[in-house]
Structure 1
């Protein structure tokens, strides 16, 4: 268990990078004058994080877990420090993307090591451990981010990773055996296999297509409405190219899987996943679950800061009902599935229904600066439902995948969740900024004031009290619209969960 704790610290750091930024977005936006582009700070990290998960898993198979993990940690640590040195929003977005590459490697390799440290009979416990680390990171992140930005500079949100990352690297150098997990036996692959031959086994084409299609889709959705019209050449070009690259990605995956050989190229997304209704249902379900999860963690604190003028720490505290009930759901779901031999599909239907109810209730929040106490109960309902579904899907994966695809299946599930979060955040951000811009225009705000308000929440201080009240009310209504969209994402999970129906149902062994 000692090695689990050391590796868990690495997963904790890279996972917390999403939530710790949630309560720091407003201070960052105010400092860099880019409130309308704050979601890119999260999205750029998520896009590269999801795009390199399977590549790092493959690299660690070829060059060893220890070498690849330490290289990924170095990348994450270096670019964490670089993010703190960013002077413009463009610099920060680019540096966050490189930080996400390192974070992707840390998560992918550590999860692979976790499952190699225990026999298959304990996979469910390892799944619960990973879920607990994931949930703890999202619980502590907003509070820590709020406290740091309130007591110091937002730069420490990123600088915090530098000493922690160096400590992780030092510990792993001396404690993780060289050649793990084959350190006690001869090499699995012939010594004659060169580095170039190993690289050839990587599905670089599939990775490039996945990353390109994701970036084009998210860019098109996030920029539509504000600053560009939906029918503008840039948006249309992004969406059309995204459709073409997605089609190319799935076509290539099918071809690469058909050509797959024991020592040949290993497809980044085996076509076998698409040929199984249950597996494709799991991928769609976790994709849709990632949407409300990421949107809620990012947008709820933003609402408290922009509309209610609360400090980052106060906003983080008000996210606690969601952040606490989510890990409780992650613990309850595997326990119920094992203890009562309940098919996970039924638990997921309950979780999706709870998310719909919670999001719909959150969308009815009054638009004044007083949030009723019921709001926190609604948060808890939505958080519990999300936790139930995320845990069910993770714990099902080893039992739904073929033996040869278990590692890739785990990475594919994480990829789908993170990509869903990035896409969901892009959609609600586009809708929000477009809605706010239209409503402020209808309220006779001059374009210069609209740009100031969308550029920084400090823009409220530069206008008279009457206009500031109108602007905050419009922001609050925009947040409610976002929650309606989240309810739609959650409702779609119900349909996706029905794809998991099979005879016999997948049951988690009670051992």
Structure 2
């Protein structure tokens, strides 16, 4: 059907006249829909959409404080990390895929599909009878969660009135920060006062509310003129498969090596998946280039548009997001364990101690926060650690908001879904590698402390030995996070623009470019 601002082809205007070009969005061009109602409808839709986003992110960390409880309940502590990792691998692997699917079946139907997968298999996870069932169900739940994550990044900028675009980045950043930190807190509370199964059951009723609000607020065809849909014959199945394999195999290599071997870089469980994953990443970019240049796969729309990475501003945002995701998720997963093992805190208190990360995320520097956290040692440093969390969260919150806004104003209209999907996948990929490397560091420290004997049960190593291992592994992890955060600062400078455009001017430029593209595609 086309975008509402593309009803007739127009000649491109000079850049100097951009400020005089009216900016329209799916709400603004409709004569039967008053602007006030458009804004109200958008914010109601945002609430339903962000509620789904909140739940999808919270489920990546809500089990962090309950892993030992679940493992003890199933009498299998050896595989507890896979309860979190199964969700995370599926979550990171399918972000781009879901964004690409939405170009075919539409944003609304794709979001509803993600909701059904996420909420149905979340409820099913609560009824799991053994740890292997739970891991399998969490994997499918992660596929749905991936769609909720990436499609929120696509839907909100598309449905937003132009006057509200400046709020989108901050809104998404706050939701990501709140959900990431509240996950361990809620997980700890539910585990301590009820039972761990409510971690998954609670998503059911909240999910119904999210879907209901989303459906009621979604504009009808008379009120909303959605972007043109692709056909399934244009869907890039091969490129999508390569992206999933590349993301999953790299993280799988780190996690498997950390659980099985001291000499990780020479073990086959690391070398084989890592090599295959890196080859797949190379294949992703080669395939994207071939499809874009029409040398292969004629008629296909690449899942990863190669032209996005010709834009240094977008490339800077993607790489920065990858690097910043590493320390953020590592902190969320390792800090509660440190609080429980080193400081002897309860499950609930270990979750509460992540609250300073919320304040910091909403308002500094990740490099400063991680560097300060690397100085934290024993129980006596607990108060200092809470203060340092504020700085780490502050940096993540600012970088998330900035990256989201940058994509909204840098990516071409036709590539918006893929651009947001790639950014979402980079954030989760970086965080997943961070969690996996934390496992490696802990395993190595446990080996050092126990003189070669490694046990999957903390109690068998002794409380003192385990505390030393966890404390040492946490400090080592924060040093790595500091280095990567410093690199992220340097990479972010690639996105600096000497000549500035205001938001209306930049959006007008993107709209005119889309007009020209579609006019050129029409048969003469």
Q: Offset of 1:62 from its aligned partner? A: 2.4
Offset of residue 40 of structure 1: 3.1
Distance change >3 Å, CA 483–CA 507, structure 1 → 2: farther
Segments of 5+ residues of structure 1 without an aligned counterpart are 191-196, 329-350
Distance in 1 separating the partners of 2:131 and 2:477: 24
User: Which residue of 210, 224, 241 corresponds with 2:257?
Assistant: 224
Q: Matched residues in 1 for 2:498 and 2:382: separation?
A: 46
Q: Structure 1 residues 210 and 506 mapped into 2: Cα distance closer, same or farther (>3 Å)? A: farther
Task: Specify the alignment match of 1:358 in structure 2.
Answer: 369
Equivalent position of 1:415 in the other structure:
425
Q: Secondary structure, in 3 states, of the residue corresponding to 2:450? A: helix
> Are the structure 2 counterparts of residues 427 and 474 from structure 1 closer, same or farther at C-alpha, using a change threshold of 3 Å?
closer
Q: Deviations over 1:9-44 (max 9, x none)?
A: 222211221232222233223334555644433332
CA distance in 2, matches of 1:302, 1:77: 27
Partner of 1:115 in structure 2? Answer: 157
- The residue number in structure 2 matching 1:127 is 169
Give distance in 2, aligned partners of 1:357 and 1:483: 11
Give the distance between the partners of 1:279 and 1:3, measured in 2 at CA.
Answer: 27
CA RMSD of aligned residues (A): 2.8
Q: Which residue of 1 aligns with 2:88?
A: 46
Q: Residue 136 and residue 121 in structure 1: after superposition, are their counterparts in 2 closer, same or farther (change >3 A)?
A: same
- 2:260 counterpart SS class: coil
What corresponds to 1:427 in structure 2? 437
Alpha-carbon distance change, 261 to 225 in structure 1, aligned in 2, over 3 angstroms: closer
Structure 2: 5+ residue stretches without partners: 1-42, 507-524
Q: 1:493 aligns with which of 485, 488, 496?
A: 488
The 1:263/1:40 distance shift into structure 2, 3 A limit, reads: same
Could you tell me whether the CA contact under 8 Å between 1:432 and 1:482 is conserved in 2?
A: no
CA distance in 1, matches of 2:426, 2:205: 31
Q: Is the 8 A contact 1:260 1:267 kept in 2?
A: no
* Cα distance change, pair 361–185 in 1 and its aligned pair in 2 (3 A): closer
Change (3 A) 1:175 1:374: closer
Matches within 5 A, 1:42-441: 42-177=84-219, 182-184=221-223, 198-228=231-261, 229-230=263-264, 231-259=266-294, 264-328=299-363, 354-367=365-378, 369-441=379-451
Q: TM-score, normalised by structure 1?
A: 0.83
Asked if the contact 1:440–1:474 (Cα under 8 Å) also holds between the matched residues in 2, the reply is: no
Partner of 2:32: none
Residue 261 of structure 1, CA deviation: 11
Q: Secondary structure at the match of 2:495?
A: coil
Change over 3 Å in CA distance of 1:307–1:32 after alignment to 2: farther
Deviation sequence 1:142-188 (CA, Å, 0-9, x none)? 221111011011111111112222333344445535xx5x4447887
TM-score, normalised to structure 2's length?
0.81
Return the offset for 1:112.
2.8
What is the aligned residue count?
A: 462
